[in-house]
Amino acid sequence: MGRLPSRFEARPCEKGGDVVAGKARPTTLQSIADRLGLHVSTVSRVLNGSTGDGGRAASSRTAQRIRELAHDLGYRPNPYATSLRTQRSNLIGVLVPRLSDPVLAFIYEGVEDAATDHGLSTFVTNTQDDARIQEARTNMALDRRVDGLIFADGREDTGLLDRISAQEIPFVLVNRHVGDHPAITCDNRLGGRLVAEHFLERGYENVAVIAGPSYASTAVDRTAGFTARYEEAGITIPESMVVESAFDTAGGRRAAERILRGRTAPIAIFAVNDFAAIGAAGCARDHGLMVGTDIAIAGFNDTPLAPELPVPLTSVRTPVHEMGRGAVEMLVRLLAGNTAESRLLPPALVIRESSLLD
Partner DNA sequence: CTGAAAGCGCTTACAG
Which of 45, 155, 189, 222 lies at the binding interface for DNA (CB under 7 A)? Answer: 45
Cross-strand partners of 185 = 344
- Pick the piece of the chain touching a copy of itself (CB under 8 A) from 51-59, 96-104, 204-212, 215-223: 96-104
Binding residue count for a copy of itself, defined by CB under 8 A: 55
Rounded least distance, CB 320 to a copy of itself, Å: 10
Q: Residue 19, interface with a copy of itself (CB under 8 A)?
A: no
Indicate the SS3 state at residue 165.
helix
- Residues in 54-73 at the binding interface with DNA, rule: CB under 7 A: 55-63
Strand 148-151, strand 91-96: pairing? parallel
How many helices (H) and strands (E) would you count in the chain?
13, 12
Rounded least distance, CB 241 to a copy of itself, Å: 22
Residue 178 and residue 240 in contact, taking contact as beta carbons nearer than 8 Å: no
Sign of CA dihedral 54, 58, 59, 64: negative
Which of 34, 112, 153, 221 lies at the binding interface for a copy of itself (CB under 8 A)? Answer: 112
Strand 315-317, strand 348-350: pairing? antiparallel
Q: What's the number of CA atoms in the CB half-sphere (13 Å) around residue 190?
A: 11
Residues 6+ apart with CB under 8 A from 195: 226, 270, 298, 300, 314, 316, 349
Q: Residue 143, interface with a copy of itself (CB under 8 A)?
A: yes
* Cβ nearer to DNA, comparing 168 with 201: 168
* Cβ nearer to a copy of itself, comparing 121 with 342: 121
Which of 64, 78, 100, 236 lies at the binding interface for DNA (CB under 7 A)? Answer: 78
Question: By the criterion CB under 8 A, which residues form the site for a copy of itself?
Answer: 21-24, 26, 76, 78-81, 83-84, 89, 98-102, 105-106, 108-109, 112, 121-126, 140, 142-145, 166-169, 248-250, 253, 275, 278-279, 281-282, 285, 291, 304-305, 308-311
